[in-house]
Amino acid sequence: AQKITQTQPGMFVQEKEAVTLDCTYDTSDQSYGLFWYKQPSSGEMIFLIYQGSYDEQNATEGRYSLNFQKARKSANLVISASQLGDSAMYFCAIRGSARQLTFGSGTQLTVLP
Amino acid sequence: IAGITQAPTSQILAAGRRMTLRCTQDMRHNAMYWYRQDLGLGLRLIHYSNTAGTTGKGEVPDGYSVSRANTDDFPLTLASAVPSQTSVYFCASAPGQGLYEQFFGPGTRLTVL
């Protein structure tokens, strides 16, 4: 079984500041992938970033980076230079040997002007 | 435009009625998934299909059935809807069973009265 825990139901950040969204995971698989998705108020699920368990470097995609600490089983999402359009729900997810995504409960991010 | 379409966009349904949610993808992805999203619970997997002709049960399969007659279509059926099936339903697909990102459809908002 695999599990994702997102302990921050809601977060606020000032525009242009950086913000870290926490994600911890639990899995017995040796090979797995960690994903972050964004869900704006319009409802669609938007893929942001992926980190493989064997990747030695942290993944980055533009303003998004994933702070992967394997020993701590954490995969925090860092958004640099926040923009108003970043206000959304953010989901962390894990995919292991079962090849199915398990999602966390999400963090609602609000970017303040 | 390549992607995933879902129909209907929203539906209000009387309890006890049968309902089929449609999902079609044109990316020739082998794997397809159905999730339900409920407030505070993130997305939970209902059923999945790793390839045409095969299906499997996810975390919350009771009350739902699926079929995968071809690569493109993956309908989800509620044989006799109950109010607890009120939710937003997302269909997703991925190229295969590996550690790929999943692409999501726009969702179907279902209300069972």
Average pLDDT value over all residues in chain A? 94
Cβ separation A103–B43 shorter than 8 A: yes
Q: Which of B41, B92, B97 sits opposite A99 (nearest CB)?
A: B97
Q: Nearest-CA distance from A34 to chain B in Å?
A: 9
Q: Which of A43, A91, A99 sits opposite B42 (nearest CB)?
A: A91
Minimal CA–CA distance to B95: which of B48, B29, B4, B25? B29
> Which tokens in the block code for residue A85?
């359009």
Cβ separation B99–A95 shorter than 8 A: yes
Cβ separation B43–A91 shorter than 8 A: yes
Question: Where in A1-113 does DSSP place strands (E)?
Answer: 3-5, 10-14, 19-21, 24-26, 33-39, 46-52, 60-61, 64-69, 74-79, 88-95, 101-103, 107-112
Using a CB–CB cutoff of 8 Å, tell me whether A92 touches chain B: no
Residue of B nearest to A92 (CA): B42
Report the alpha-carbon distance of residue B90 to residue B88 in Å, rounded: 7
| Interval A81-91 mean pLDDT | 97
pLDDT band at A56 (very low <50, low <70, confident <90, very high): confident
pLDDT band at A99 (very low <50, low <70, confident <90, very high): confident
Q: Count Cβ atoms below 10 Å from residue A61 Cβ, excluding itself.
A: 12
| Interval A1-29 mean pLDDT | 95
Each residue's pLDDT tens digit, A60-72: 999 999 999 999 9
Each residue's pLDDT tens digit, B68-100: 999 999 999 999 999 999 999 999 999 876 667
Question: Residue B95's pLDDT is what?
Answer: 87
Which residues contact residue B39 at a Cβ distance below 8 angstroms, ignoring those fewer than 6 apart? none
Using a CB–CB cutoff of 8 Å, tell me whether B33 touches chain A: yes
